[in-house]
Structure 1
């Protein structure tokens, strides 16, 4: 292999990146699975608010921030917004809007580090005599979907007095009441349905501000409530439940004067002054302070050397989700017009309101922290390179982003990705979810619900399976050519779920759907029953492949292999034999007609008779079925030596060291001198006039797929090269490290990153037999790694004795069955 990175770069330790405050693309999501989320930027600022049951990448919350006041004995008081300084560009037509409070003082700099689900930010300023940091997180506990699906987050500000004098410290959180949110006007002020109210509450568990609404329908998708609370004692709390409702910037001016004077808040501000005549006669929103902001303040005195935590809990409850996939502008307008029914979010079946959410977070704080921290330490205290850990962990974000959600019956649903205000690619798109591995491993119950939707609810009597699920919303089924890769891939993934969990009942529920799927395949795609798909196959490239493609046929072979195992379990022995013979025949024929000595090519007499084919190209996805087979613990489905050579060829021909040399007219995901793996090249010539439309793009999901295959075939350096190049692109300046985009933000296919991690672990498991084993591919003499199956998770340690003997120990840290 051509050396692209040095050994030091490839085999670095497990230290993760640190993001400075000027890393403007960083958005770390806080929020649970299926709850919506709030993002934290590298400056410590709360950025995007996507808690309103639809994507909202541009949603900002005016006047929502944390601030600190401090006064040393005998010194002057100092106040700051708890963010580092704002970054360019600054060339706005009207400057920064007043509701962004850009004119208030901030810290000089900040540094963000993460160990999912925890994010830490250190604030730095030479004029500040204390050490200040923020630790924020939403509980994340593999195999515990309930406690990983809480609509809220902890924000714990830690302050240490490094002086020789006592220092009085106050930290205040201010939040806008966004209940009834309906977008923004041209001055960036929020528009709302109905009216809003803020109320201070206090009980035995928490104290804080409850934000509610009234005078609009309880079916509205932003009907609900929010809360900003603390577990701090009442004696340390002051509050301003509602900022002064004056004119212009009166509310903001009043808050800052109140807070910065003595670090405490007056409950209410009253002024008797003559206001602006213009404001009396004009409806301009900027002339009237109508935002319903509430602030909660904690005050403590720190002795020299003392450190204290200022705990806050942010929670929300917006139960109504549109009972429809909202993908088009028309769909969004239909929401506004009330043309869609709503379904409840799953979290609405667990909690009564945002106060109840906060109470649960407060009452279970120690356990939720300990179990989340146990995962974080187990995962990140490993001996794999940091960029590998980042790739696997940072893409966990996808399942907690607006891409994924749960409805009231517990069904787990997902887009392909999300755009600014709309979803992209609805309905658990089967051919995209083929690549993802994270949800299946970390939360098997969620992935199993998807298989039930496919094989029980969506499958038709003739075996046709729509590749987008609409039945969970009680809508007519998706009408389009079925996707061969997606439909057959569901069989492999069903088998994977069985192996991960050992759940026999899942197979019994879905078995009839499996039979129907393969019957349909033999009628439509493999009419001569030779184990090879030859009729037109719609695939993930949003087109049909003609002739024989190893991409689709390898999935078919793996599906037949998996189906044979399920048939045997269901005591359909004759059918099991038939499926095994078809798989063997298909593997033999595919190898005979498609293998060219270096890789598998498309078999098609005249590639230019059809648009959007790849012909003699070296397709990165050519062994997608083999990748899925490895993920499902099925082993090799094609000759091992050919698999290894084909994957080697993919790396050799398709990895580009400089994007500017990758000439194409498609969407561009890498640019200039960036490195990446393209979906297809034509090293031996024969490029079609119009190749399939994505051939020059770079999809991180395919990069992870190929990297996982490279590891499984003992080509580790090449695998690491792909992943390092990919993660170098997600540096926080050019791209968000927590969102690998394809057709939208937080794209599902990127969850293939977990497959790379499992491959490097050399992890093999079968919970049907209660078996697991490890063959680490790196640092074999001294290896530590995290593992997770459908019942337990923990760590594995491998060491080498002085006599050269390798030995392993495993430790169970969480047992879902016992829990």
Structure 2
């Protein structure tokens, strides 16, 4: 416990009154889509370590503890509480504005959220109410000014900052309380952290869940965690000098931990002039009176150290409390830490990986106390590292606060995107990494989506981004001949043909799903036959070249790992050039990232990516030819002439076939006059990487202006962002269309980056701001969707592509 001034919360943090809801939050477009409601807060925990989420109601409600799986529900016994005594008055509150609906812990006094429901304060502007939540990932704050006499602030964070490949993997959260006494009389406070023993709850009780097809044609499987099964759970009190806490465990059958086996730990640091209290075995499933009566009376706990395992049907929890007195005008800081150690992630039965943090602790699953106390010893350094990373951006007067807020907060997906980060191996020196496309489409690192969405890991954690691309490079030559049905036909009321899951040398769409074997069994999605997609091969080549160039053009080991797959990907994609004109044709089925949108013949989107990818591949041959590797040199020497020939052919027809004098037509075969918002993604990438323009600059500027005017300004006066595709007068091609009439958050950030690339700063910021306000003003924070509509609906929450806002920052920088 240290004396300290009240914390300075960055003015650009997202702010909302504690407990305040929304009159009309966005709701899902399709009933089958995930909609956990708007009470989402910043997630806590390291990448791939599992995470927990605490909302601005004060409740812990998001649990991504099992690798790749999602549980969203409030567990009332996991809670901070405050006791305060001054003069003849005392009061105590559990700091959540949402008591359990089933009456659990009914004896507790739940926080009223004073002033939170009638303040009328918006989330991005206006004066701040008394009791507020703030978030600037990886930090968030809850400020309490009423009804307490003391002023309380809880800053919560995990040790995540750019280019940190160690602590960013730790399964730990720090809760740094600042207590200030603004009155002229002493105030006695007690802070309690209670935690239900959740060991054993987060694993799938179905060993081989059956894969089914949802109503939108996407594959899904059932996840049934044994929530509430606490038989054998117990806890122990630990104290080492000033460090004190509880370690929650479970009786085990074997020496090596299985998935779901491990520990939770809560800990604090007590100064000499404060008192620490504890209870290792209270009942979080009853009315909670036994624990609460003691705490609410005088801020104490009965100091019960009872390690008896829970019997069948019994629930157990632990709690620690610190009591101290503040003199008039005094300010103190009190740290609490929450750690969890579940080292094993099991995908399909028997497919086991250890998590990255086990490279720094061991794999026993008995490191809860070690991790919690490491945090107590190092949190001040962690806090400085985070501030040193964020402050230069926060201090920039040329960037608006709403942008700085969204820039950091959109990184939440690196923590809660069902994230995997495996232990290091000789072949994977920083481990393997993966984030799902979203929680509705729960397969990893969709290559088309990460074309924009991977700018965040590239700029902040480039070795993780390269690890993902290495996994794709290994997957491209692989083959999986098992046959399956395609969901798109199901949505059209048609019978699906049987198609192979993965054709050799086809670039896979994704790196698999958590119920099979991520990184090894690819192409999990079966909505479309991804072997036929016309953008994936180009996407892979461009991302390889991007990561090579934008990290210094000197990582020849990365290039050597990926170059054979570059050759294979382009050769395979060229097989779809059925007329031999140099450009692969779209088939008429949705066969690219807009997988509900038909394109026929040469398309502006896929054709432009193809030309940019050929330019990138040709540029890659020079460093390959400079390497001391005869096989790679031979591969490059052989590929270079045909790539140059294909490029010459493609350039001869692309502009002439698609340019209509104002913008590039959707394709050559459909006859559509739609203005496609992302028509020149290939041109954006070519300029990003210093390659020759795909199209003449004047044409690019004209097309970009048309996109801005038509898809953004004419779409509900620019309130929502740019729709994917409208006719030149702003009308829809078909009012019942799906993708063309949706605003895709990540695509919009990509277009904003393109506008900046072409020196249209005002337009780029206006477009970006419209999308940011839709997310953060309508209950979509920390669950940013792929798509929003003008009717207040969304689709595909927790979406990877939205991290494309870092491409906007790249050009603003």
TM-score w.r.t. the length of structure 1 is: 0.77
Partner of 1:540: 593
Superposition deviation, residue 585 in structure 1: 3.9
Is residue 344 from structure 1 mapped to residue 401 from structure 2 by the alignment?
no
Is residue 377 from structure 1 mapped to residue 383 from structure 2 by the alignment?
no
Show the 5 A alignment for 1:40-189.
Answer: 40-72=54-86, 74-83=87-96, 85-86=97-98, 95-99=101-105, 103-109=109-115, 110-125=131-146, 127-181=147-201
Q: Deviations over 1:340-392 (max 9, x none)?
A: 53322222333242222223222322322211111121221112112222232
- Rounded to whole Å, the distance in 2 between the matches of 1:102 and 1:639 is 68
Provide closer, same or farther for how the CA distance between residues 408 and 253 of structure 1 changes in structure 2, counting only shifts above 3 A.
Answer: same
- Rounded to whole Å, the distance in 1 between the matches of 2:802 and 2:729 is 30
8 Å contact kept, 1:656–1:675: no
Superposition deviation, residue 313 in structure 1: 0.5
Partner of 2:118: none
Q: Deviations over 1:51-102 (max 9, x none)?
A: 2324334232231111111222x3322222234x44xxx9xxx945324777
Provide closer, same or farther for how the CA distance between residues 116 and 714 of structure 1 changes in structure 2, counting only shifts above 3 A.
Answer: same
Partner of 2:685: 628
8 Å contact kept, 1:163–1:305: yes
SS of residue paired to 1:180 = coil
- Rounded to whole Å, the distance in 2 between the matches of 1:569 and 1:496 is 14
Superposition deviation, residue 43 in structure 1: 3.2
Superposition deviation, residue 17 in structure 1: 3.9
- Rounded to whole Å, the distance in 2 between the matches of 1:425 and 1:50 is 13
- Rounded to whole Å, the distance in 2 between the matches of 1:140 and 1:245 is 34
Partner of 1:363: 377
Q: Deviations over 1:282-309 (max 9, x none)?
A: xxx9x99932111111122211111001
Q: Deviations over 1:127-180 (max 9, x none)?
A: 421111111111121011222221111101110011112222211111111011
- Rounded to whole Å, the distance in 1 between the matches of 2:683 and 2:103 is 53
SS of residue paired to 1:148 = helix
Q: Deviations over 1:420-466 (max 9, x none)?
A: xxxx2413211111121101111011110111111124434852222
Show the 5 A alignment for 1:15-34.
Answer: 15-24=12-21, 25=38, 26-34=40-48
Match of 2:618 among 530, 551, 564: 564
Provide closer, same or farther for how the CA distance between residues 288 and 216 of structure 1 changes in structure 2, counting only shifts above 3 A.
Answer: closer
Superposition deviation, residue 696 in structure 1: 1.3
8 Å contact kept, 1:39–1:46: yes
Provide closer, same or farther for how the CA distance between residues 632 and 226 of structure 1 changes in structure 2, counting only shifts above 3 A.
Answer: farther
Match of 2:432 among 402, 408, 411: 411
Is residue 488 from structure 1 mapped to residue 543 from structure 2 by the alignment?
no
Provide closer, same or farther for how the CA distance between residues 739 and 318 of structure 1 changes in structure 2, counting only shifts above 3 A.
Answer: farther
SS of residue paired to 1:441 = helix
SS of residue paired to 2:319 = strand
Partner of 2:707: 650
Match of 2:458 among 432, 440, 448: 440
- Rounded to whole Å, the distance in 1 between the matches of 2:778 and 2:670 is 45
Superposition deviation, residue 190 in structure 1: 4.3
Superposition deviation, residue 489 in structure 1: 0.6
Is residue 427 from structure 1 mapped to residue 444 from structure 2 by the alignment?
yes
Superposition deviation, residue 476 in structure 1: 7.2
Superposition deviation, residue 36 in structure 1: 2.0
- Rounded to whole Å, the distance in 2 between the matches of 1:182 and 1:149 is 19
Is residue 752 from structure 1 mapped to residue 804 from structure 2 by the alignment?
yes
SS of residue paired to 1:492 = helix
- Rounded to whole Å, the distance in 2 between the matches of 1:463 and 1:105 is 58
Provide closer, same or farther for how the CA distance between residues 746 and 481 of structure 1 changes in structure 2, counting only shifts above 3 A.
Answer: closer
- Rounded to whole Å, the distance in 2 between the matches of 1:195 and 1:340 is 24
- Rounded to whole Å, the distance in 2 between the matches of 1:476 and 1:714 is 39
Structure 1 unmatched ranges of 5 or more? 1-12, 271-284, 325-338, 608-614, 662-672, 762-819
8 Å contact kept, 1:246–1:288: no
Match of 2:347 among 323, 328, 347: 323
Structure 2 unmatched ranges of 5 or more? 1-9, 22-37, 116-130, 206-224, 425-430, 480-503, 626-635, 788-794
Q: Deviations over 1:472-494 (max 9, x none)?
A: 45447658432321221111110
TM-score w.r.t. the length of structure 2 is: 0.78
- Rounded to whole Å, the distance in 1 between the matches of 2:761 and 2:141 is 32
Superposition deviation, residue 394 in structure 1: 1.3
- Rounded to whole Å, the distance in 2 between the matches of 1:520 and 1:407 is 31
8 Å contact kept, 1:170–1:297: yes
8 Å contact kept, 2:95–2:111: no
Is residue 214 from structure 1 mapped to residue 251 from structure 2 by the alignment?
yes
- Rounded to whole Å, the distance in 1 between the matches of 2:736 and 2:643 is 33
8 Å contact kept, 1:465–1:517: yes
- Rounded to whole Å, the distance in 1 between the matches of 2:710 and 2:731 is 15
8 Å contact kept, 1:169–1:301: yes
Partner of 1:799: none
Is residue 465 from structure 1 mapped to residue 507 from structure 2 by the alignment?
yes
Is residue 715 from structure 1 mapped to residue 736 from structure 2 by the alignment?
no
Superposition deviation, residue 738 in structure 1: 5.6
Superposition deviation, residue 692 in structure 1: 6.8
8 Å contact kept, 2:194–2:318: yes
Match of 2:406 among 391, 396, 410: 391
- Greater shift, 134-143 or 237-246, is seen at 237-246
SS of residue paired to 2:94 = strand
Superposition deviation, residue 656 in structure 1: 5.6
Match of 1:224 among 262, 266, 290: 262
- Rounded to whole Å, the distance in 2 between the matches of 1:230 and 1:631 is 48
Superposition deviation, residue 207 in structure 1: 1.8
Is residue 590 from structure 1 mapped to residue 647 from structure 2 by the alignment?
no
- Greater shift, 558-567 or 481-490, is seen at 481-490
**How many matched pairs?**
684
- Rounded to whole Å, the distance in 1 between the matches of 2:272 and 2:69 is 37
8 Å contact kept, 1:532–1:589: no
Provide closer, same or farther for how the CA distance between residues 97 and 648 of structure 1 changes in structure 2, counting only shifts above 3 A.
Answer: farther
Partner of 1:298: 322
